Homo-oligomer: A and B are copies of this chain.
């Protein structure tokens, strides 16, 4: 670590917060290590409660200048993007002068898929002198470990379904699709694209209720992995208690994710939900 790096890591960390419970988990983890955090909750996305416990400044998507001014004033050099952010409708964007000057680059990024968009946005922050880190770099305990969480472990058949799902996600990687697939007896039941994991699981539950799934209830696996070309600093796949509940409603046996590359939201609640629903949650080595 260089002297500049070390100085950067002692300065307060700027957390640009989207939706969900992850921003608070990351803030808590960073603060517990003795590093100060300054939250920048995004209007329309971040949970108003997350701001209560830390110094914070609400910002709108597009207020790059406001963010830059406030983060610099707080002494921040490192920025982490964390939490969910749906592609905001254009009318919700609030471009300030700094953002307007950077707009051509944002528009170019919008033309590509999400990955390119986020990498393009990260470049704007770097252009303002910040270093953009991944949440896993500042709070590694949010990542899924190797092995099973909770008391249920996957059967040999479930492990085969997981391997089938990982192989599919690798093959689909160049097409920049979703990060998840549902596999039962090596038969793909659902593929996630723009709708997100929860909506995909709801679909599987409907198909099962309609008698359109041959595999018996209690079989089938939700498989999640980052896209091969994904910028790991943002948008790592994540699972939480609601994923477990969706998996249980869909009548699946469990969840398989890549260890060390998947974020766990609310681990204690996730484990409790998994044990209650008799669903396994397993981290497997990436590339398996």
Contacts and interface: CB of A to CB of B under 8 A. Distances in A.
Nearest to A91: B211
Nearest to A110: B214
Interface residues of A, number: 36
A176 interface: yes
A111 interface: yes
A89 interface: yes
Contact of A171 (B174, B188, B193): B174
Nearest to A87: B214
A190 B185 contact: no
Question: How many copies of this protein are present in the complex?
Answer: 2
Interface string A157-193: 0000000100110011011111000100111111111
B185 A189 contact: no
A214 B172 CA distance: 21
Contacts of A89: 211
A85 to B, nearest CB: 12
Nearest to A207: B194
Contact of A194 (B172, B176, B178, B212): B212
A87 to B, nearest CB: 6
Contacts of A171: 171-172, 174-175
A171 B171 CA distance: 6
A200 to B, nearest CB: 9
A-B residue pairs, 9 tightest by C-beta: A191-B191, A177-B188, A168-B175, A189-B194, A89-B211, A190-B193, A188-B193, A113-B187, A191-B193
